[in-house]
Structure 1
Amino acid sequence: MDSRDTSGSSISTDASDTPAAFDSLDPRRRTLLKAAAASAAALAAGAPWSAQRALAQTPSKGKTLRIGFQKYGNFVVLKARGTLEKRLAAQGVSVQWLEFPAGPQLLEGLNAGAVDVGSVGETPPIFAQAGGVEFAYIGHEPQAPKGEAIVVPHDSPIRSVKDLRGKKVALNRGSNVHFLLVKALQNAGLSYSDIQPAFLTPADARAAFVQNSVDAWVIWDPYLAAVERQANARVIGNGEGLVRNTQYYVAARKFADTQPQLLRELLAELDQVDRWSRDNIPAVASQLAPLVGLDAATLEVALQRTSYGVQPVDAATLDYQQQIADTFTSLKLIPKKLVVADAKWRAA
């Protein structure tokens, strides 16, 4: 795992509990990850998702479970504790961990065939489905609306979301905070066209924020907790009453169809780790601090806003995702109406 500060945005190719250099991977794996990273960069620039569709990959046969994760979240705790490896060892299944800077890039990795399963926010799957990525929702965490927010510098004249008219707002395109921004603007009587979106990865957005190159930043934990504590950023609105900020577990469609029992084992182990984490936040913060490059006190702030306990994806959950899809369709940020239920896990 890349243990640099959480502002770093590189894709780690860690395949074990110790860092693995990119150059040490076999040529095919390097090609896959380079393709995923290149496509993620294209997405940030507004290029179509179809660039990845040309890559034909052989699906995993279950001997190795390849998990895409982000620098923070329940998968990081699971990885650190090593309990999934122990659980699956008896079945002859190994685990490979691959880190991505955000949900859209992780889903590009899944689309490229480099990832079997991953964890993303509520909006990236919408953009992925619109781009033709074949995946299934296999589970989710309870909502955590306080875990994402719109922040401004502490001395900014901006006092509320209403003051964002005409302002430059940084966000990761297609991430969960994209929907938060849209809903917050609507709630304040503004439209999406009233602001200037600056599509930046968390690393670039933080740099722009502290250098006053943008007026506001829409971001999630632990980046949110870090910029609050380290840069004295001021929150002008979070997800409460606006969005759920749900974390989803998604799997490549072919993998979900052919390896349902393996995915159930994964979800069961995640749920156990979740419940332990909920009751041991200081211990989790101390364990994660050296892994994510943040101090334990900052992580405790973020963990207190996190939700715990894996839940099934039911009809109500898919209806909520459909609302997000319809919102982005109306804004012409995705090209056509989606049927979110098409991404339901058939084995659920």
Structure 2
Amino acid sequence: MKFARPVLAATALLAATACGGNAEAGPASAPAGAAAAVELRLPEPGNSGVLAVAKKDGSLDRALAAVHAKVTWTSAPAGFAEAADALNSGRLDAAQGSISTGLLPLAGKPGFALFGAAQPDPIGEGILVKNNSGIKSVKDLAGRKVAVDAGGAGEYLLLQALAKYKVPAEQVQRVRLSPEQARSQFSIGEVDAWAASGEPVVTELAHASAYLVTSGFGAGSDNYRVWAVRSELARQHPEVVRALYDYLHEADGRAQRDPAAYLNVFTSSGPEAVSGRAKDVRVDVGRAAAPVGPIQEADAVRLEKVAQLFAAQHVTPSVVDVRSHLLDVNSLAGSAR
């Protein structure tokens, strides 16, 4: 693949990022000559998704065994900002987020790179409004208060929707709240709308008391789901990163075809389980989701658009150089398999 400014190959990118890193931050491999497998630390997957299935049936460990690696499951970070800290400190080797949530961590000197991306969620993200709100379009948000997560997916989705529908951003009050605060404020009417992605959207749509005044698709979202890997691990063991990518790509495809099989993986009861309308919504969102793939030139251009929007709206002080943190997974060892 060709890039106007090339997505960096593994050796070039990781040699640069490793210069200021701490090689002792976490174990990447056993001593020379030892039989111990390379440790790949991933966040606990919870009760749903491809990693939950991977943990339950051992399929990821079997895939990694071919490159002499194995998974160690670690405590799950609350969000991508926390995951980025864990990647930088060596407590985690790979994690998933979105490009909007990744921009602030990428604005510094991260010890990780992005090695895979899935196109934006067309129906599982957007701007929620109450059924009786009187808000029928994005233009109706002018003069209203909208809950967002600061520098995250919600703030991006709101800004993107306002830009698309030519509503000046200063005409809408962004109320920066945690997900818990946003849920509370939205439920009691302290904010008029809630820009969100993932579980909040599923929950609110399942309750049938709210709807999306615009979805990610309607907003023209470029909020790709991305996978990040610790740079030192990728430098030392590119074959492990490639094996992880191959597994995720194939598993995402299976999950898209049969989303229900990736829900309630460990338990079908209790607070982690989904049922009824919430399960139906999750199935619909899963079926619409795209599998993770290599970051192509067209993807890189769209990732840059998110960085440009955040800079234009002063979410970041300047445009984050996303391309310098992209890893061409097809350049990694094992890519010819």
TM-score normalised by the shorter chain: which range applies? 0.7 to 0.9
Q: Which amino acid aligns with 1:194?
A: Q
Task: Confirm whether residue 292 of structure 1 aligns to residue 267 of structure 2.
Answer: no
Largest Rg, 1 or 2? 2
Task: Confirm whether residue 253 of structure 1 aligns to residue 224 of structure 2.
Answer: no
Number of the residue aligned with 1:339: 321
Number of the residue aligned with 2:240: 262
Q: How does 1:57-96 map to 2 (within 5 A)?
A: 58-62=25-29, 63-68=38-43, 73-89=49-65, 91-96=68-73
Superposition deviation, residue 99 in structure 1? 1.6
Give SS of 2:265's match. Answer: helix
Task: Specify every segment of 5 or more residues in structure 1 that has no aligned partner in the other structure, as ranges.
Answer: 1-52
Q: How does 1:145-294 map to 2 (within 5 A)?
A: 145-230=122-207, 232-241=209-218, 242-287=220-265, 290=269, 292-294=272-274
Q: Which amino acid aligns with 2:127?
A: I
CA distance in 2, matches of 1:55, 1:159: 52
Superposition deviation, residue 148 in structure 1? 0.3
**Structure 1 pair 104–265 and aligned structure 2 pair: CA distance change class (3 A):** same
- Do the aligned partners of 1:256 and 1:345 also contact (CA within 8 Å) in 2? no
Identical pairs, percent? 24
Task: Specify every segment of 5 or more residues in structure 2 that has no aligned partner in the other structure, as ranges.
Answer: 1-19, 30-37, 332-337
Superposition deviation, residue 236 in structure 1? 0.6
Task: Confirm whether residue 310 of structure 1 aligns to residue 292 of structure 2.
Answer: yes
Alignment partner for residue 111 of structure 2, among 134, 147, 156? 134
Scaled by the length of structure 1, what TM-score is found? 0.76
**Structure 1 pair 190–92 and aligned structure 2 pair: CA distance change class (3 A):** closer
Number of the residue aligned with 1:32: none
Give SS of 2:86's match. Answer: helix
- Do the aligned partners of 1:150 and 1:236 also contact (CA within 8 Å) in 2? yes
Number of the residue aligned with 2:335: none
- Do the aligned partners of 1:104 and 1:174 also contact (CA within 8 Å) in 2? no
Number of the residue aligned with 1:107: 84
Q: Output one character per residue of 1:293-330: Cα deviation in whole Å (capped at 9) or x when no partner.
A: 43264133223223243310122211111111111111
Number of the residue aligned with 2:10: none
- Do the aligned partners of 1:169 and 1:196 also contact (CA within 8 Å) in 2? yes
CA distance in 2, matches of 1:169, 1:132: 31
**Structure 1 pair 141–98 and aligned structure 2 pair: CA distance change class (3 A):** farther
Q: Output one character per residue of 1:169-218: Cα deviation in whole Å (capped at 9) or x when no partner.
A: 11222222322111111123222222222222222221221122221111
Scaled by the length of structure 2, what TM-score is found? 0.78
CA distance in 2, matches of 1:152, 1:55: 46
Considering only aligned residues, what root-mean-square deviation do their CA atoms show, in Å? Answer: 2.7
- Do the aligned partners of 1:59 and 1:254 also contact (CA within 8 Å) in 2? no
**Structure 1 pair 74–163 and aligned structure 2 pair: CA distance change class (3 A):** farther
The higher relative CO (CA closer than 8 Å, separation ≥ 6) is in 2
Give SS of 1:197's match. Answer: strand
CA distance in 1, matches of 2:56, 2:277: 18
